[in-house]
Chain A
Amino acid sequence: MAEHEVELTVDGEAASVAVEPRTLLVHAIRDQLGVTAPKIGCETGKCGACTVTLDGTLVKSCMLLAVQAEGGTVRTAAGMADGDELHPIQQAFRATHGLQCGYCTPGMLLAAERLLADQPNPSRAEIRSALKGNICRCTGYQHIVDAIERAAADAGGAP
């Protein structure tokens, strides 16, 4: 099949990738652009390890074709830190042991960032609801919810 040239911006870097129509966005990001923050988990749209934002919208990058991201702006968890300075949400995950193996974390961080942008002071139930599309098999979610509560508090939300 003919390849398509796809222009997109990933974590602030403009990029151009030649992809087959069947290439999933997560494969283009990881294998062709070398940005390995989004992980490949279930590839059926359930686990959320491949979560990125596309033009500000939270999506699972295994559920889009790379050609569908033409002209789009992608943000991955790799774009969250400012050099060596972790993003406040990353700091909160670290401080509360919000991860064990870390595989789901890139998706969790972006889901948390999206939630806090929409709702700066979420309840624990709202946090869990926002994480419904992100599966963690290590933590039982308690510390992840703690981390997001802490990130909200650190950013000035109550308590």
Chain B
Amino acid sequence: MYPAPFAYERPTSLGEAITALAADDARVLAGGHSLLTAVKSRATTPGTLVDVSELPSLAGVDRDDDGLWIGAASTYAALLADERVATVVPMLADALASIGDPQIRNRGTVGGNLVQADLGADLPPVALVADAVLTIHDEAGEHQREISDLYGEEVGADHEPAAGLGTSALLTGVEFPASDATGSAYVRRTHPATGYATVGVAARLWLDGDMIEELRLGATGLCRRPIRLTAVESAVRGQSIEDAASLATAHAPADVTSVDVHDDPNVSGSFRRTILGTVTAAAIDRASGVDE
């Protein structure tokens, strides 16, 4: 496969990167594991790839009382090797471990996963449930955005980055705020052909004994943006953890009645709708056993 020609730039500072991204047809290259596949098939034909993978401002992990900050160019493997990730945000560690295979986890990045938001990407629902805060740099400087801004009603066309970001903006880091939840988890059913999630659900749970005080759920794989499962959340709130599985399977269909669920030759939309409840129940069950 020979991609259409493009220029390549490797800026050495954030300022240089922002300048390079101001070009109309420039795209950010980090791990490249979503972008290069689309570039090779010519599904997308950028004029310039701006390689930010080694910019220091996008690297590293920092933990303080407010939460966990993750540099956007951190690879999945680097985060899985950092025990602070599983300690502070267990559902994030679950999601990272479920991505692809060792080679993909060695190159793919958190920023790319969130911004590209491929169908069935594992990190967007986790970030949504965690109310992650994005640090974004553009020509106007640095600003913070809520993760829900990134995934508005639509994420954008296939192979294009999330529409909420702006074309010349660069995601530099993601903050996962500290939580007082009892536990969290992410569970997915893997798509047999793509290796992404057919359906994946992130759950964060607040328990008082056996009673569910609060529950936040995010799902991926249904359409090209993560969605909150608010019908299940409200059905389960105040109920016993023992009843969570049956309530999740009963109420999950209500969360996708108005969603145009993705259909493909391997997995039909109705199958995705059917398994949403059981994957949700599994995520709640796992979250109840994983301390946050």
Binding site for B on A (CB under 8 A): 1-2, 4, 20-22, 24, 43-46, 48, 51, 57-60, 63-65, 67-68, 70, 111, 114, 130, 132-134
Contact = CB atoms under 8 A, between A and B. Distances in A.
A20 B100 CA distance: 28
B101 A133 contact: yes
Contacts of B37: 44-45, 63
Secondary structure at chain A's binding surface: helix, strand, loop or mixed?
A: loop
Given A21-B49, A64-B32, A68-B53, A48 B103 contact: yes
Contact of A133 (B3, B29, B104): B104
B8 interface: yes
Contact of A63 (B36, B53, B77): B36
A67 to B, nearest CB: 5
B32 A63 contact: yes
B107 A130 contact: no
Given A64-B32, A64-B107, A65-B32, A21 B101 contact: no
B22 interface: no
Interface in B32-69: 32-33, 36-37, 39-41, 49, 51, 53
Contact of A58 (B29, B32, B53, B103): B103
Given A45-B37, A65-B36, A111 B102 contact: yes
Contact of B40 (A2, A20, A44, A70): A44
A67 B2 CA distance: 15
Given A45-B33, A64-B32, A133 B6 contact: no
Contacts of B107: 59-60, 63-64
